[in-house]
Amino acid sequence: MAPIFIGVDVGTGSARAGLFDEHGRLLASAKRPITIWHEPGHVVEQSSAQIWQAICASVREAVDTARIDPSAVAGIGFDATCSLVAIGEDGAPVTVSPTGDAERNIIVWMDHRATGEAAEINAGKHDVLRYVGGVISPEMETPKLLWLKRNLPQSFSKAAHFFDLADYLTWRATGSLSRSACTVTCKWTYLAHEKRWDAAYFQAIGLGQLADEGFKRIGTEIVDPGTALGQGLTEQAAADLGLLAGTPVGASLIDAHAGGIGTLGGLDRQAEARAQNRLAYIFGTSACSMASSDQPAFVDGVWGPYYSAMIPGLWLTEGGQSAAGAAIDHLVTLHPAAPKAQQDAAAEGLSLVSWLDREVQRKCADASEAVRLARDLHVVPEFLGNRSPHADPSARAIISGLALDTDLDSLVALYVAGLCGLGYGLRQLLDTLARNGMTLDLIVASGGAAQSPLVRQVLADTSGLPVAVAETEEPVLLGAAMLGATASARYAALTDAMSAMSRLSAFYQPATDDIKALHALRYRAFSRLQEVQRKIRLRSDVP
């Protein structure tokens, strides 16, 4: 019987499961929505119990759709957003919510309630911050833990375990308390290259209790992604998922990193499988940009270098944008023509963004010409701050060049300008990496927002690098499935699974000549707008 591998992905708004064969072919998939609670003060919360239920329903549906026997499933892997989960000694959820709702035990990645705590930590200039680009983000876990200790001390004391969401899922599946090097290195300040936590850092920032306890609440056994955990699925987890007890489970990844695993090793006609000199760009609600190297690269404002956090044995440098797909969604709804366009889109069963994407492609036979539709509109789409390369969570969006236009053409122009703004943000990151010795020659794009040929071409034109896409339509799920394939020993190493299960398909080359020159002008305007906005916000003189 040919082995089947399951990948489970928990994004911001849904839980999904995909079944793949050993060659990376998608056999079936299913998804369920998950609930998000928003409260004043940039509070965003979820429920681990509800997420587990959504996962189980998705796995069962995917297995039924594929019409396979559960005994054919040889391994399973999980990825999830980098959200903080609090669990009690009895395995019950511990509230992290100002509302006191016990089911709300997850502080979601995009929750910025700990912005003040992050600023305090950064003021200490601790040595471990060198490994997060010099500045820790409120999206990371130690600022959130400090907020929890200060504002909900009973919950902080009651929690027996604090997990990254991806590690919670493998614990729920296997009972193993092992944490993935991906989660704790990228989001918790674990020093994977030295195999240790920095106790002095935790003492200095006010979380010394965790160090005094020997870090047992945040992880004492750290393993590489894809490592087989425990004895595989427990009896209870197997019953929940409709699978067999003992099915191997691989140590987890953050969702964007699973996208990197699912794409970076892909074979193409020009090159052997490789993970270096390529940038994985995972474009969804947010955008993550990840590059691997043999040696650590310390880049101010860019997360990392993280050892073995994505590909075991390599250093990871990670940038991105806190709002990407979400920024475009929000941007276009601000336009006065949006309600009419939404009606037209809904009548055709499309989202507003999908409808606008199609309208642009109707107007421009050559996708590179789309930039001309933006006219004098310039957008810096930093609605949720700048994750990199400026590491500025207080940054905000800018729209320049608005007129009194209310027609659909001006809405299309705003959409294109927004896409270009995201591309220029990516170009800033690439320029920063290049100045620090990381030369990249290919962007491998994935994620729901990168499915459009228009978006792919705009990314190539704005960044100045070729853009490739994976053959699979579900690269994040595929990356998670590779974890299961590695845990099952079907492949000796995660890099072997990457080469065997991933392939690249379409390539998009950057525009040349006048379109290239136009983007160069717009890129300079983008950078200038950012600079002026920072000066205004900091109340310094504006030239």
pLDDT in tens, 299-328: 988 999 999 999 999 999 999 898 899 999
Query: Which pairing describes strands 37-39 and 278-283: parallel, antiparallel, or unpaired?
Result: unpaired
pLDDT band at 347 (very low <50, low <70, confident <90, very high): very high
DSSP state of 510: P
pLDDT in tens, 49-90: 999 999 999 999 999 999 999 999 999 999 999 999 999 999
- The answer to whether the beta carbons of residues 158 and 225 sit under 8 Å apart is no
Total residues found in the chain within this entry: 543
Percent of the chain with pLDDT over 70: 97
For 75, the 3-state DSSP assignment is strand
What was the pLDDT predicted at 539? Answer: 65
Query: Which pairing describes strands 249-254 and 73-80: parallel, antiparallel, or unpaired?
Result: parallel
Torsion of CA 309, 86, 166, 129, to 10 degrees: -20
Least Cα distance to 485 among 473, 503, 500, 471 occurs for 500
> Does the CA dihedral 135-139-143-147 come out positive or negative?
positive
Structure-token pair, residue 172 = 């729920």
Percent of the chain with pLDDT over 90: 85
Reported in sequence order, the residue ranges of 269-418 that DSSP labels E, i.e. its strands, are 278-283, 287-293, 303-307, 315-321, 378-380, 398-400
Can you tell me the distance from the alpha carbon of 358 to that of 44, in angstroms, rounded to the nearest whole number? 32
Pick from 293-297, 512-516, 539-543 the range whose average pLDDT is largest. Answer: 512-516
pTM, 2 dp:
0.87
Domain boundaries, the chain: 325-430+512-537
Can you tell me the distance from the alpha carbon of 372 to that of 367, in angstroms, rounded to the nearest whole number? 10
- The answer to whether the beta carbons of residues 235 and 246 sit under 8 Å apart is no
What was the pLDDT predicted at 210? Answer: 98
- The answer to whether the beta carbons of residues 77 and 480 sit under 8 Å apart is yes
What was the pLDDT predicted at 506? Answer: 87
The values of phi and psi at residue 305, to 5°, are -75, 140
pLDDT band at 265 (very low <50, low <70, confident <90, very high): confident
pLDDT in tens, 164-221: 999 999 999 999 999 999 999 999 999 999 999 999 999 999 999 999 999 999 999 9
Alpha carbon 186 to chain centroid, angstroms: 12
What was the pLDDT predicted at 273? Answer: 42
What was the pLDDT predicted at 253? Answer: 98
In this predicted structure, the answer to whether residue 148 has a pLDDT above a threshold of 50 is yes
Residue 280 vs residues 165, 318, 439: alpha-carbon distances, Å = 22, 9, 14
pLDDT band at 270 (very low <50, low <70, confident <90, very high): very low
DSSP state of 448: G
Can you tell me the distance from the alpha carbon of 428 to that of 372, in angstroms, rounded to the nearest whole number? 21
In this predicted structure, the answer to whether residue 274 has a pLDDT above a threshold of 80 is no
Q: Which helix (H) or strand (E) holds 467?
A: strand 467-470
What was the pLDDT predicted at 127? Answer: 96
Q: Report the first-to-last Cα separation within the chain, whole angstroms.
A: 70
What was the pLDDT predicted at 268? Answer: 53
In this predicted structure, the answer to whether residue 281 has a pLDDT above a threshold of 80 is yes
Query: What are the residues facing 315 on neighbouring strands?
Result: 293, 307
Query: Which pairing describes strands 84-88 and 106-107: parallel, antiparallel, or unpaired?
Result: antiparallel
Q: Which CATH number fits domain 325-430+512-537: 3.40.50.10320, 1.20.810.10, 1.20.58.2240, 1.10.240.10?
A: 1.20.58.2240
What was the pLDDT predicted at 269? Answer: 42
What was the pLDDT predicted at 277? Answer: 84
Can you tell me the distance from the alpha carbon of 309 to that of 301, in angstroms, rounded to the nearest whole number? 18
Structure-token pair, residue 235 = 């009896």
Residues 421-438: what's their mean pLDDT? 94
Can you tell me the distance from the alpha carbon of 119 to that of 136, in angstroms, rounded to the nearest whole number? 8
In this predicted structure, the answer to whether residue 150 has a pLDDT above a threshold of 90 is yes
The mean of the pLDDT values for the chain is: 94
352-363 vs 453-463: helix crossing angle, rounded to 10: 70
